[in-house]
Copies of this chain bind each other. A is one copy, B any other.
């Protein structure tokens, strides 16, 4: 049987991981904390917010004009205007404080509060001064015309933001409008990053023949920050089970998710799985995923915490972290509002071959053309980190395709 039939596709592998996490831990969400609204961008709510009062909280004019009783303007036209007495000006930021009687009106500004006895606003453009204290209304106003009514945005008690919402500027504005300046959000999951490999050295090292710098700790930290987690770096461990186990155990104590990037040799790849199985149950759930790059991925749950073993080469590690580490962080944050992921539609500039049954991810550069974007594959062996820095995003070749054709429209997931 070909190997790819024994390996899980990425989505199934992720599902298996998340199901096991839930079984092992119950509610998988991290703890929560209270923060100021001014620091809420990109954070995730842990409880629903209900409006403490309606918005707007008073009837507001949406134009500059005159607050009127609509009935007084019925039938008004250029030829046959309605005449109204101006009895005052409604102040901004205070109760209207004016009582409009039949055939009376008051000057009102955009955002001003409509007096109780008025029920519409005539735009200033549809009026004409006659003499001081009197106007002609040239067009009839319907009841509620040019008025935001109480509760037209949200009514009192209405759920305005649900639990598990990733907060964007609009939600933050809505909360400000309701006077909610402190709120409870999910704590950023702590994500341990452990590098391994006898050839791997810290980036500040003056490298010797045979040594490579630890690229993955940096790319993964950046990806974790971007996904809403807090990276915690545990350094480079030697390719020895006991050493790796001690570090991973320490990381499991204080972190929600532990990511180990393997050394690149076969022996150290197996080492990660061995160590993970010592650290808790159920242990390794998936060893090998039907995807390129990134086949040797390891997914595990140890006593309620997720451990992920990533391939050591930088490009595979980054692609696979996007497929597994970022979704686990979102799961731990309790994000329930899955918003569409940004992607751009583009035309392939080349044929791309792929093995049927395997999911492939290809780095592409986007080129603007007259008829939209072109996606040009950026080829490079998967060990070359600068291959990715020349790319704008990734194109997925689904497992049921044997490739994609030149000119075909593809969705590019932007980095």
Residues of A within 8 A of B (CB): 37-38, 40-41, 55-58, 60, 62, 64, 91-96, 109-113, 148, 152-154, 160-161, 168-181, 197-201, 203-223, 225-226, 233, 239, 263-267, 312-314, 318, 339-340, 342-345, 366, 368, 373, 380-381, 383-389, 391-392, 414-415
Contacts and interface: CB of A to CB of B under 8 A. Distances in A.
A381 B204 contact: no
B109 A210 contact: no
Given A64-B266, A93-B200, 15 more contacts: A41-B225, A41-B226, A55-B385, A58-B210, A62-B381, A95-B210, A110-B312, A153-B380, A173-B216, A173-B318, A176-B215, A176-B217, A342-B342, A342-B343, A342-B344
B392 A340 contact: yes
A381 to B, nearest CB: 6
Q: How many copies does the complex hold?
A: 2
Contacts of A179: 203-207, 213
A48 to B, nearest CB: 13
A386 B154 contact: yes
A203 B223 contact: no
Contacts of A181: 203-204
A84 to B, nearest CB: 20
Nearest to A339: B392
A250 B83 CA distance: 48
Given A216-B173, A264-B109, A318-B169, A55 B340 contact: no
A62 B386 contact: no
B173 A385 contact: yes
